[in-house]
Every structure is written in structure tokens, then in C-alpha cells.
């Protein structure tokens, strides 16, 4: 049976291992599986679970019509798609992963048909009959359509169907990450669904909305919950973030009303700040916005709200639209910049320290004078002291340590952002995002975020990515084509210091 091997690797095997006699009153999995069994039957076999899922899919997944009748075949009845949606929603996480695995492996492309057409295409190309070649290519494209894509397309036409597919893709991503479901077939299904969502959520179908304190309470609540960069503390904090000298924008889609897809928070200031506390600090609610004080727009938080839209380009378009919106409202704004976190820096640095001390028995990322100063302050060897300091935030309370660590940490962080690469692009995901958008790595800021989160992820540092509007297109192209990072003199100077003084 097609599902057997897949289910054996999942938590469903645990169901069979519990004695095959699960009480519906004591086990949620027992309740779930009993739903598909006669009420008098308590024993739930692996074969029956597998058979139930295959039966559901065979009834709900519409077949790909023959090529000759594809334009004349009536669409499947919507009850099939509704039945699939209802059944899927009734399942728990492990059963959903199992169903997705069976859908990917059993209802994909007809490989035999594709192989036959591919061979025919090669033969026709050798005959140089262009008309026949084009016909065979069209037929081949058609049969490269996975059967489950027909189901996804039918679901998308139902009310709430697009949101269902976004959530379903989130389940696919989670299942692959947790290894509940993995392999080339489910990865292929993930790519197919991502391509479909990219078409439906292209920029022409997105609506830019500014969020204010007068926006619906449900929307404000969702934005507060979705904030992933600088958590919203309370309703007063939320009111400040949509009040004077602040702007909040979202992209929405007509198929998902009331759901912000991505959220961008902007601070309107007199200059480009390098400290997040200067942005999220309290602002008197009664303060009136004075446009004469607004010279800079700082993008200090951008959060994607739908995991199922991962890999679908939204943030780039949102920033561009917001820039145009702000230019229309404040023509005097001359500076556009982000104030961005540096997730992963502390983890990277700990890994580098562990690797160096293991291989060389000493720490070569710091100068001898810096190691001595760290040892004098902490009373321990510099390498041991640094590993201990990086696992807690207590060092930020010591003025001596804050001053001693500034120079080495700044050059190490500059190298992490500029020099550490993944397939030629910036390793840091936030850096990669802004550089793809055409921004310049402009300024690294010491003690820019002393919150527990900022201290833990990046030793309190943040970075400004500056958007010089006249150069963003050229910068983006240079980065994407040549993998060249545009950076300021400050960043390049720090990188040069790293190359001269540190060994990695």
C-alpha cells in the first residue's frame, strides 16, 4: 500500500503500538480514528487508517482530464473540495503530515505519460517538424501538471479556500522542518503550491493599508500578535506605534479579508537613529505631529504574518509602496533607512570561538591587548570569559566590559554581515533581504538594542541599511547578479580591521 512506508516513519506508528485499543474517551487520536470506524469496533489497525486516507483522497482529488477533452470536461463538483477541507481540518498534526505525504506521492505527475511524451518530442525534433514539436510540447506541459494541483485550484475558488491553502502550505513547511513528512515528492508539492500562491499574491492583487488607532480592533490585535521583531507590550504601546511620528502599513488581499499579510512599522524622525530605544520609547499621546521635524523615515520592523507565504515576495514590494506613500505625504523626507536586528550573530560568534579554541587552544579573533583587558576585568582566561559572557547578558551592566568589547565586537559583527556568505550571498537573512532590495549596508550601531532579545541574538548591536532611491535598482542588480555588497566606509573600515587583526 502506497501510504504504508510513509506512515511507519511517522507518529502514527505510535498509535498502533499502544495495543491497538485506544479509548475514545481517553485519547484524542483514538477519538479521531474512531470517527472513521463502526461504533462497535474499537481495534484500529494500521491498514484501516491507511485505507481511510486513501479512500478520502481518491474521492476528493479530481483526476487530470485527458488532453483531448481538457477544455470540454466539466469541473469537479465543489462538494469534493469542501469534503477534503473539512476532513483535513479534523486531523491532528501527525495525521495531516501523513495525508500530505500520501497526496504528494500518490497524486502527483503521471511519470509514465511524461516519459512517453518526452521520447516522442525527441523524435519529432529530429524530424524538424516545428508544428508537431509545438503540439507535443503543449501536451507535455499539460501532463507535467500534478493531479493535486487540480485539487488546489478547485479549493482556491471556494470561499476561504485561498486562506486554507496558505495554512496548508504552512503545515507542509512545518512537516518538512520537523521531518514528519519529507522527501522529494513533498518538496515538489511545496514548490508547486508556492508558485500558485506567488501568482495569486502578486503585487497587482495586493492592497496597501495604513493602520491607525481607528482601524478595526481585530486588525490591531492581529498586528500586535504578529509583531516578531520588537514585541508589543500592551495596548498603550500599540497606540504609540500607530500614533504621531509613526506609521504602520500592511498588505492585504481580497481573498483573505481582515488578514494583514505583512506589516511594516516606520518611525518619522529628524535623522537616522541607531538606537531602537529612541524609537519604541514613550511618546506623549497628546503630542501633535510637526512635519517640519520629519526628515528621515526609519523602517524599524517588518514582519510576515503568514508562514504559508514563505518565499512569496511581499516585503520588497511593501517597502517600495510605502516609500512612495511617504514621499507623497512628506516631500521633504530625504533619508530612508532601516534599523535592523542582526539575528544569528551571537550564535555564529560562539561557534567561531569554540572552533578556534578547540583547534588552536587559543582565541585569535581578539587582539592580545583585548584579551588581556577582558581577563583583567573578568579574572578568567579571555576565551573562557567570552563564552560565558555570550551566554548571558550580565556583561551589559559593566561599563568596563561594554567599553572593552566595543572595538572587537564591532569588527566581528561587520565581518559576519559582510564577509560570511551562503552560496555567495549574505549569510544573515535580514542583510540578504535588504541587499536584494538595493539597500546599502550603511552603519553598524553599538548598544543599539539592549533588550533581552537584542542582547541574546546580536550582543545589542543593530545595523542601518540605507536606501538611496536613485541607486536601489543598480545595487539590487549588482548584488543578485555579481553577489557584490554595497557598503559604507564605516562598514568597510571595520571589515578591513577584521581582516588585519583577526584569524578565522
- pLDDT by residue for the chain (504 residues), tens only, comes to 444 444 434 433 333 333 333 333 333 333 333 333 333 333 444 455 567 788 889 999 998 888 888 888 888 899 999 999 999 999 999 999 999 999 999 999 988 888 887 877 777 676 667 777 788 888 888 889 999 999 999 999 999 999 999 999 999 999 999 998 889 999 999 999 999 999 999 989 999 999 999 999 999 999 999 998 898 988 988 999 999 999 999 999 999 998 999 999 999 999 999 999 989 876 655 578 889 999 999 999 999 999 999 999 999 999 999 999 999 999 999 999 999 999 999 999 999 998 877 766 667 899 999 999 999 999 999 989 999 999 988 899 999 999 999 999 999 999 999 999 999 999 999 999 999 999 999 999 999 999 989 999 999 999 999 999 999 999 999 999 999 999 999 999 999 999 998 877
What is the rounded CA–CA span in Å between residue 353 and residue 350? 5
Domain at 101, CATH number: 1.20.140.90
Looking at the fold, whether 364 and 480 belong to one and the same domain comes out as: yes
- Alpha-carbon span 380 to 341, nearest angstrom: 30
Q: Based on the structure, what is the number of domains in the chain?
A: 3
In this prediction, residue 49 carries a pLDDT of 55
| Those residues with Cβ within 8 angstroms of residue 289's Cβ, 6 or more apart along the chain or in another chain | 244, 245, 268
What is the spatial distance between Cα 274 and Cα 252, in angstroms, rounded to a whole number? 30
**Could you please report the per-residue DSSP string of 106-129?**
HSS--HHHHHHHHHHHHHHHHHT-
Find the catalytic residue in 301, 434, 457, 458: 434
Kindly state whether residues 331 and 358 are assigned to the same domain: no
**Which residue in 340, 457, 458, 502 is the catalytic one?**
340
Final residue before a domain boundary, out of 172, 200, 228 = 200
Q: 291: domain range?
A: 209-338
Evaluate whether residue 244 is within a structural domain: yes
Helices (H) and strands (E) in the chain, counts: 23, 9
pLDDT reported for residue 42: 37
> Is there a catalytic annotation at residue 77?
no
Can you spell out the DSSP letters for 168-195? Answer: HHHHHHHHHHTTSS-SHHHHHHHHHHHH
Pick the last residue of a domain from 338, 372, 400: 338
* CB-CB contact of 209 with 252 (8 Å): yes
Do the domain assignments include residue 114? no
**CATH code, 323:** 3.40.630.150
Residues 300, 55: Cα–Cα separation, whole Å? 50
Q: Is 340 a catalytic residue?
A: yes
Residue 14 lies in a domain: yes
Asked if residue 160 and residue 103 are part of one domain, the reply reads yes
Task: Please report the pLDDT score of residue 5 as a whole number.
Answer: 40
Cβ atoms < 10 Å from Cβ of 217: 8
C-alpha cell at 55: 479512500
DSSP 229-275: SS---SHHHHHHHTSTTEEEEEEEETTSTT--SEEEEEEEESS--S-
Whether 36 and 75 map to the same domain: the answer is: yes
User: Would you state the cell numbers that stand for residue 132, as one nine-digit string?
Assistant: 508537431
Domain assignment present for residue 120? The answer is: no
> Is 126 inside any structural domain?
no
Q: Which of 338, 373, 402 is the endpoint of a domain?
A: 338
Amino acid at each position: 500500500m502506497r501510504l504504508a512506508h510513509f506512515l511507519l516513519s511517522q507518529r502514527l506508528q505510535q498509535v498502533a503500538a499502544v495495543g491497538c485499543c485506544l479509548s475514545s474517551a481517553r485519547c484524542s487520536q483514538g477519538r479521531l480514528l474512531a470517527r472513521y470506524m463502526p461504533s462497535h469496533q474499537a481495534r484500529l489497525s494500521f491498514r484501516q487508517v491507511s485505507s481511510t486516507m486513501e479512500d478520502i483522497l481518491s474521492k476528493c482529488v479530481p483526476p487530470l482530464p485527458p488532453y483531448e477533452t481538457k477544455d470540454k470536461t466539466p469541473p469537479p463538483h465543489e462538494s469534493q473540495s469542501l469534503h477534503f477541507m473539512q476532513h483535513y481540518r479534523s486531523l491532528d498534526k501527525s495525521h495531516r503530515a501523513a495525508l500530505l505525504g500520501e497526496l504528494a506521492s500518490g497524486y502527483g505527475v503521471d511519470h509514465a505519460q511524461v516519459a512517453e511524451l518526452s521520447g516522442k518530442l525527441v523524435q519529432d525534433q529530429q524530424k524538424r517538424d516545428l508544428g508537431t514539436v509545438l503540439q507535443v510540447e503543449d501536451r507535455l506541459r499539460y501532463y507535467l501538471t500534478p493531479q493535486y494541483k487540480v485539487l488546489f485550484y478547485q479549493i482556491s475558488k471556494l470561499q476561504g479556500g485561498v486562506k486554507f491553502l496558505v495554512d496548508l502550505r504552512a503545515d507542509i513547511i512545518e512537516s518538512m522542518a520537523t521531518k514528519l513528512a519529507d522527501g522529494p515528492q513533498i518538496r515538489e508539492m511545496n514548490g508547486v503550491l508556492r508558485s500558485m500562491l506567488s501568482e495569486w499574491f502578486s503585487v497587482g492583487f495586493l492592497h496597501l493599508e495604513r493602520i491607525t488607532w481607528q482601524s478595526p480592533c481585530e486588525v490591531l490585535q492581529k498586528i500586535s500578535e504578529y509583531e516578531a521583531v520588537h514585541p508589543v507590550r500592551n495596548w498603550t504601546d500599540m497606540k504609540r506605534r500607530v500614533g504621531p511620528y509613526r506609521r504602520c502599513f500592511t498588505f492585504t488581499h481580497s481573498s483573505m479579508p481582515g488578514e494583514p499579510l505583512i506589516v511594516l512599522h516606520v518611525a518619522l524622525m529628524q535623522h537616522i537613529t541607531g538606537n531602537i530605544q529612541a524609537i519604541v520609547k514613550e511618546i506623549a499621546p497628546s503630542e501633535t505631529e510637526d512635519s517640519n521635524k520629519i526628515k528621515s523615515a526609519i523602517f524599524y520592523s517588518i514582519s510576515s504574518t503568514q508562514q504559508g507565504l514563505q518565499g512569496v515576495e511581499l516585503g520588497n514590494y511593501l517597502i517600495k509602496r510605502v516609500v512612495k506613500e511617504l514621499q507623497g505625504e512628506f516631500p521633504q523626507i530625504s533619508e530612508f533607512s532601516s534599523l535592523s536586528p542582526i539575528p544569528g550573530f551571537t550564535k555564529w560568534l560562539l561557534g567561531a570561538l569554540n572552533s578556534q579554541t578547540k583547534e588552536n587552544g587559543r582565541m585569535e579573533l581578539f587582539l592580545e591587548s583585548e584579551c588581556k583587558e577582558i581577563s583583567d576585568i573578568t579574572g578568567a582566561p579571555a576565551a573562557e570569559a567570552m563564552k560565558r559572557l555570550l551566554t548571558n547578558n550580565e556583561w551589559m551592566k559593566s561599563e568596563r566590559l561594554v567599553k572593552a568589547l566595543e572595538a572587537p565586537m564591532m569588527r566581528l559583527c561587520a565581518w559576519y554581515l559582510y564577509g560570511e556568505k551562503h552560496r555567495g550571498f549574505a549569510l544573515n537573512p535580514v542583510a540578504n533581504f535588504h541587499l536584494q532590495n538595493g539597500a546599502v549596508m550603511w552603519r553598524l550601531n553599538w548598544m543599539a538594542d539592549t533588550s533581552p532579545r537584542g542582547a541574546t541574538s546580536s550582543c545589542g548591536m543593530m545595523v542601518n541599511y540605507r536606501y538611496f532611491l536613485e541607486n536601489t535598482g543598480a545595487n539590487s542588480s549588482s548584488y543578485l547578479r555579481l553577489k557584490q555588497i554595497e557598503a559604507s566606509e564605516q562598514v568597510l573600515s571595520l571589515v578591513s580591521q577584521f581582516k588585519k587583526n583577526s584569524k578565522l
